[in-house]
Structure 1
Amino acid sequence: MDKELFNKLASKMGITSVKVLSQAEEYMRLSQVKCTSLGGATATSKAIICLELAATSMKFPLDKEFAIKLSGLNKKVYQSSLKSMECMLGLQCSVGIRELAVQYGCMDAVKVASQILERYEASLPAAQQQDLDLSKPLFTTAALFTACKCMKIRADRKLAASSGAKKGIFDRLCSQLQKFGQEICSAAPSVKAPLKTQKKRQKTLTETLQEREEDDGLPTSPKQQREQQQLRDDDAEEEAKQNYEEWKRKILENALRAKADDS
């Protein structure tokens, strides 16, 4: 992007400080080298992001909502691109796994990613553990990316790029972390086993109750209920008929007895 257009964008955003503009230009220059893998962002949106990053670092007041509108991106894509460029340019040295997961929509992998980093740290010599900062984007991003891969969660393609590291370095670290992720994920089913057993036991109990209902002659379906009701109606009708015949017989017997007494 030429300097004249860059200055026009800065003017629209209300950036008048020469220091902020100079810092933004430096970020723009670095982004052309370090942020080549950043997808979804245009040259204009990258320039605006660089201007916002420079303004934020120098505490220069800025209308961020207008910056998003000026970039031509929707808010979600803009924020994602901004965070990615922060990491790639080394401006944000501590990015939590949870924050990354929220940004890239893979919250289910947070717990496994944290466990991967813990096991990775424990596997290192004590001297190396002291010199290593696992909160850096390279490690948090690689752990989350590896967790998603092991859990078969589809991760945003920009997640790997947000580490700010070269692809070769990132891939090598992911290969080291993968064995820990596979160990954690392979152990996960044993944790869920009691829940599955409980569900199976509950199903068996339900089936047992249904069998008892059937053994007791209780209908378990609308069709069976109708058939049972029909049988009851038929029995009642037969009983009423028998009662009538018995009543009729007694009336005739009484009548004949009375006639015999009169004669």
Structure 2
Amino acid sequence: MESDMVASFASKMGITSAKTLRRAEEYVRLSEVKCSTLGNITSTSKAVICLELAATSMKHSLDKEYVIRLSGLNKKQYQSSHKAMECLLGLESGLGLKEMAVQYGCMDATKLAAQILERYAQSLPAAQQSDLDLSKVLFTSAALYAACRCLKIKVDKKLAASSGAKKAVFDRLVMQLQSLGQNLSKEAIPLKGAARSTQKRQKTLMESTEQTEKEDSPSSPKQQREEEEQQPAAQDYEEWKRKILANAMKSTNGAE
């Protein structure tokens, strides 16, 4: 039954590759187990989505608007279901933080989002750290969303939708990550203050060094002229002093 449905929709979608068909059928079987919690998704829409996922993995282009009409869902429902199935089946596009930030116009939040994910991983028990893949779109999108809130950056609502998770699940994760982001921001404030103090100390040291250099440096041209003018006067005084002493000696010898 499922194979017949997949083959029928594949024909309408222009998919003729046997390998793509087999992959789509495999996705349909997996979805019965991994995507059973999804609501608003019929066997028809599931088959169409699985076919698109298989075609995408095989680099086969499709008419997106036609595919959505075949699914029986509206555009918003289709995108949400497609993303959810992609996540649950482990077929995410693998967008990293930077790529996602570029896509949703929040590059300034990238650094904090990465720090939030790192702190989140550290807060988990060792067993969960080894099992959890924080590169999954749910975590990267939630970390970016949380970082944007901390930094008061306007968030594109599509970023939340890209997670593929239910709103309640996404919101709960964002709140948790946002709390970590706020703690990181508070920790950064004393560091900035310490950096300013260090700069002030360095400036004071530089000023002291400059003052010492000024004191040890050669005299200015004006000072040099004054010193040169004073030197002859000192030399004349010494010569006068010598002559006075010599005359005094002669007078003493004459008296004897």
TM-score, normalised to structure 1, is: 0.48
TM-score, normalised to structure 2, is: 0.49
